Amino acid sequence: MGGSVIILLCLVALFAGVLAPYPYTKSNFSRTYEFPSGEFPLGTDQLGRDVLSRMIYGARVSMLVGLGAQVIVLLIGVPIGLVSGYFGGRVDLFLTRFIDVMYAFPRLLFVILVMSALGAGLTNIFIAIGLTGWVGIARQTRAQVLSLKEKEYVEGARALGAGWFRLMTRHLFPNALTPIIVSASFGIPEAIFTEAALSFIGVGINPPTPSWGQMVGENQQFLRSYWHLCVFPSIAIAVTMLSFTFFGDGVRDALDPKMK
Amino acid sequence: MVTYALQRLFWLVPTLLAMALVTFLVMHATPGSPLDPVAEGANPLSPEAQQNLAKAYGLDKPLHEQFVIFVAKAVRGDFGNSFVYKTRTVSEILLETFPVSLFLGSMALALAILGGLALGILAAVYQNRSWDYVSVGLATLGVSIPNFILAVFLIVLFSLLLPLFPTGGWDQPRDWVLPTVTLALGPMGIIARFTRSSMVEVIRSDYILTARAKGLGERLVIFKHVLKNACIPVVTLLGPMFAAVGTGSFFVESIFRVPGLGRFFVLSMTGRDYPMIMGVILIYGAFLAAMNLVVDLLYGAFDPRIRY
């Protein structure tokens, strides 16, 4: 069930330009704060912009951040974990100490800190999530490599003359992949949450680009008078988060029945 | 045990220093300066005035010197004056707002632990029956839906559709209900999930079979034998739980207009209030690190099999 919602969301994000009835920046100052009607299915906001169209474009931001940030997290975390676990010794000690300090830092606090330093914007969100998110993946990869490198087939490959790079990329990495995929699939909703949270407090996506978190954050103070501005994006975030969580559970159960 | 505790206490120092350093460097790498308002319509300050201000706030010294001064003062609880609320020191603001957050956080945590344990026990005792589904459903919702979204839904349900509670404020006990529930639902879900799976595991063990075989009542078996051992893994959750409630309070306090530390933090973020931001992050970091330590020691107290 989670999967089908995700596919739908991806399609909406891809074809936002075709699906949205109005451009997301088009404002109409004589039609502000309108409640849902036939013309504007989900109403209009404080600038008279169509809420539905803005939400359709908002899906693009969420999907982009959810999937894109995971790629960055993996690109940083996996190599560090591989190196740390494989070489051991001083490199490992240094990296694990560093990872421990990063772990002590409350994650969201650090992301907010980085964002306030870099300024709002989509690229900066990628950077902030990438900088803070790799720690978990690196830890997990390291633990996997530590147990895998003692296996006979690795020793066999080494006896055949395989260098460290070949061992890492051809033997250790593919075998450590399962738990990495599982935690990456749980990382997607976390990244989506992070973007929504950042945009909610105003250090995420720059306006006029719409993002669900930003729509909720801007309008939560008008909840009493104009509920539609806040409730629809909230539902969108809730449904997205739930489907990615279900999807993650599914991936875990499919790939590794032992993990619980 | 004592050596372990001392060792852990000792490790707090470098961790906090590293936190302070990272925060300090990030804040100083920030483009834009508190001396030079870039907002449109703001009066540009003359270079002389900027220099004087920099001197007054110690911003003209080299970076490493600023850091040493900052740490030396921070140890004595002096984080300087807030840049935004110029007449008040950061410590004053912290002292005023932290108790509010602590109060909200403790209520939320208490609710999360009691509710989570209750849901988990019900789910484990009535496996695959309706109670189980209710608790799993609540847990999934609590875990996956961000708390500011929960806040929106709860406000719509319980203050707009059913006008039971106010939408915000912090004057009377009635105001406490919605923020506490919002903050507690996520951790409650996690605790319920954990309690359920660890109880299910314990229920299947031999000594429970023995307890039943010798004729103990179901209630006694569950509460005296199962729960005691099932609680052990749940205690480990408390560390991350403190962090979740701590960072969660930023959003919950902002939405419900609770005059706590989290709300101030969000406000100081947009105002580039360096002393305020660094103070808040250090206080939070120190608090969470200390809590983690307490939880680790508690873990040993709960489970005598653990030796340090």
**H, E, C per residue of A14-69:** HCHHHHCCCCCCCCCCCCCCCCCCCCCCCCECCCCCEHHHHHHHHHHHHHHHHHHH
- Residues contacting A250, CB < 8 A, separation 6+: A2, A3
> A116 and B246 in contact by Cβ < 8 A?
no
Write down the residue that tokens 């070489």 correspond to.
A87
Residue A185's region, left for phi above 0, alpha for psi from -120 to 50, else beta, is alpha
**Token pair in block for residue A89:** 């010794």
Question: Per the domain annotation, does A196 fall within a domain?
Answer: yes
Question: Per the domain annotation, does A221 fall within a domain?
Answer: yes
> A231 and B29 in contact by Cβ < 8 A?
no
pLDDT in tens, B159-168: 777 777 777 7
Three-class secondary structure assignment of chain B: CHHHHHHHHHHHHHHHHHHHHHHHHHHHHCCCECCECCCCCCCCCCHHHHHHHHHHHCCCCCHHHHHHHHHHHHHCCCCCECCCCCCCEHHHHHHHHHHHHHHHHHHHHHHHHHHHHHHHHHHHHCCCCHHHHHHHHHHHHHHHCCHHHHHHHHHHHHHHHCCCCCCCCCCCHHHHHHHHHHHHHHHHHHHHHHHHHHHHHHHCCHHHHHHHHCCCCHHHHHHHHHHHHHHHHHHHHHHHHHHHHHHHHHHHHHHCCCCCHHHHHHHHHHCCCHHHHHHHHHHHHHHHHHHHHHHHHHHHHHCCCCCC
> A104 and B250 in contact by Cβ < 8 A?
no
What is the pLDDT tens value at each position of chain A, 260 positions in all? 667 878 877 777 777 766 767 776 666 666 666 667 766 667 777 776 777 888 888 888 888 888 888 888 999 988 888 888 888 778 888 888 777 777 767 778 788 878 877 777 888 888 888 888 888 888 888 888 888 888 888 888 888 887 888 888 888 888 888 888 888 888 888 888 888 888 888 777 777 778 888 888 877 777 777 777 788 888 888 888 888 888 888 888 887 655 44
Q: How far apart are CA B192 and CA B119, in angstroms?
A: 6
> A105 and B250 in contact by Cβ < 8 A?
no
- Residues contacting B297, CB < 8 A, separation 6+: B1, B5, B8
Q: Give B244→chain A minimum CA distance, Å.
A: 8
For chains A and B, CB pairs below 8 A equal: 106
Residue B134's region, left for phi above 0, alpha for psi from -120 to 50, else beta, is alpha
Would you state the pLDDT for residue B306? 63
**Token pair in block for residue A4:** 């089908």
Q: Give B289→chain A minimum CA distance, Å.
A: 7
Q: In chain A, how many H helices and how many E strands?
A: 11, 0
Q: Which residue of A116, A242, A243 to mutate against B (max B Cβ within 10 Å)?
A: A116
Question: Per the domain annotation, does A170 fall within a domain?
Answer: no
Contact predicate B200/B127, CB 8 Å: yes
Question: Per the domain annotation, does A102 fall within a domain?
Answer: yes
Q: Chain A partners of B251 at a C-beta cutoff of 8 Å? A: 197, 200-201
Q: Give A126→chain B minimum CA distance, Å.
A: 17
* pLDDT-flagged residues of chain B (< 70): 1, 29-45, 57-60, 270-272, 303-308
Taking CA–CA distances from B257, the nearest residue in chain A reads: A221
Question: Per the domain annotation, does A9 fall within a domain?
Answer: no
What is the amino acid identity at position B42? Answer: A
Q: Chain A partners of B23 at a C-beta cutoff of 8 Å? A: 113
Question: Per the domain annotation, does A38 fall within a domain?
Answer: no
Question: Per the domain annotation, does A254 fall within a domain?
Answer: no
Would you state the pLDDT for residue B111? 92
pLDDT in tens, B43-71: 666 777 777 777 776 666 777 777 888 77
Contact predicate B159/B237, CB 8 Å: no
Contact predicate B246/B105, CB 8 Å: yes
Would you state the pLDDT for residue A260? 45
Q: How far apart are CA B8 and CA B1, in angstroms?
A: 11
Taking CA–CA distances from A100, the nearest residue in chain B reads: B15
> B140 and A245 in contact by Cβ < 8 A?
yes
Domain count, chain A: 1
Q: How far apart are CA A79 and CA A138, in angstroms?
A: 8
Give the bridge partners for A44, in sequence order.
A50
Q: How far apart are CA B73 and CA B80, in angstroms?
A: 8
Task: Give the nearest partner residue to A112 out of B140, B269, B285, using CB atoms.
Answer: B269
Residues of the domain holding A107: 57-143+179-229
Q: Chain B partners of A113 at a C-beta cutoff of 8 Å? A: 23, 26-27, 277, 281
Contact predicate B109/B187, CB 8 Å: yes
Question: Per the domain annotation, does A125 fall within a domain?
Answer: yes
Q: How far apart are CA A121 and CA A203, in angstroms?
A: 8
Taking CA–CA distances from B140, the nearest residue in chain A reads: A242
